[in-house]
Amino acid sequence: MPSRPKVIDIQRIKVACRSCTLHELCLPLGIDGEELERLDRIIRRRRPLERGEHLFRRGTPFRALYAVRSGAIKTYAVDEAGCEQVTGFHLPGELVGLDAIGEGVHPLSARALERTSVCEIPFDQLEPLTAEIPGLRRQLLRLMSREIASDESHFGVLGQKGAEGRLAAFLLSLSRRYAERGFSALEFRLAMSRTDIANYLGLAVETVSRIFTRFQSEGLLRTQRKLVRLLDPARLEAIAGEHAPASRCGRGA
């Protein structure tokens, strides 16, 4: 096959929010008819990102929010030493860029983990629209609030869990999110590398790898490279619930 493409047929990508299978997860929840059309009009579909391509980079001016339609995005920071810190993975139906509203600049970089398509929602058009459409306004607040809550629960993972708990919690989080999107809760393909998982969980790659094999030998799951099948989600929940070696459950003042 000759490398002819790169010129994408924009006409083809003509999917209204209304018909988007994600429309209950994305913005338009509780918005109907005419309002939905107004939202639809400001949303821009872009050509899909190839694996490794950036959606935006740290320091770039904030222009739009992005809703993942298919594929997966990882967001990450790079410190002075060039060290990468993965801060999150974004699956279909999830929004990227909410952290940039505050300062008008993206504090993180975002790149595609695989071929990924997103909807671009220009913020300078979305923001005034929220004044007129109460459902849209509330939904945006809800989504941001949930993002905060989920970040907080990740603190618990990073702060109190041992390596096994972290990986278990991570897999269950993916499982739940895939299930919400109508995919299988028990079998899915990891879009990210072990390195990314390790980084996200604050572990070494080797530790992640070892725990995958340990989980497998204990019959908790079966992995085949990127493919994961959860065999005993209940026990995984239990492991995810255990606190780290540390945490003596002491209460502070």
Partner DNA sequence: GGCAGTGATTGATATATGTCAATAACGAAA
Partner DNA sequence: TTTCGTTATTGACATATATCAATCACTGCC
Task: Point out which residues bind DNA (CB under 7 A).
Answer: 162-164, 193-195, 202-210, 212-213, 223-226, 244-248, 252-253
With CB under 8 A as the contact rule, the residue among 68, 87, 170, 177 that binds a copy of itself is: 87
Is the Cβ of residue 126 or residue 231 nearer to a copy of itself in the bound state? 126
- State the binding partner of 154 from a copy of itself, DNA, none, CB within 5 to 8 A by kind: a copy of itself
For residue 118, the surrounding DSSP H or E stretch is strand 117-122
Closest distance between DNA and the C-beta of residue 164, in Å? Answer: 6
Span interacting with a copy of itself, options 1-9, 20-28, 133-141, 213-221, rule CB under 8 A: 133-141
Is the Cβ of residue 186 or residue 205 nearer to DNA in the bound state? 205
Comparing C-alpha atoms, which of 15, 26, 230, 232 is closest to residue 126?
Answer: 26
Residue 209 as a binder of a copy of itself (CB under 8 A): the answer is no
Residue 177 as a binder of a copy of itself (CB under 8 A): the answer is no
x/- site string to a copy of itself, residues 99 to 118, per CB under 8 A? xxxxx---xx----x-----
Per DSSP, the residues of 72-106 read -EEEEEE-TT--EEEEEEE-TT-EE-GGGTTTTB-
Output 143-152 pairs: Cβ under 8 A, ≥24 positions apart: 143/27, 143/95, 143/98, 144/98, 147/95, 147/98
Q: What share of the chain is helix, strand, coil (3-state, %, to 5)?
A: 40, 20, 40
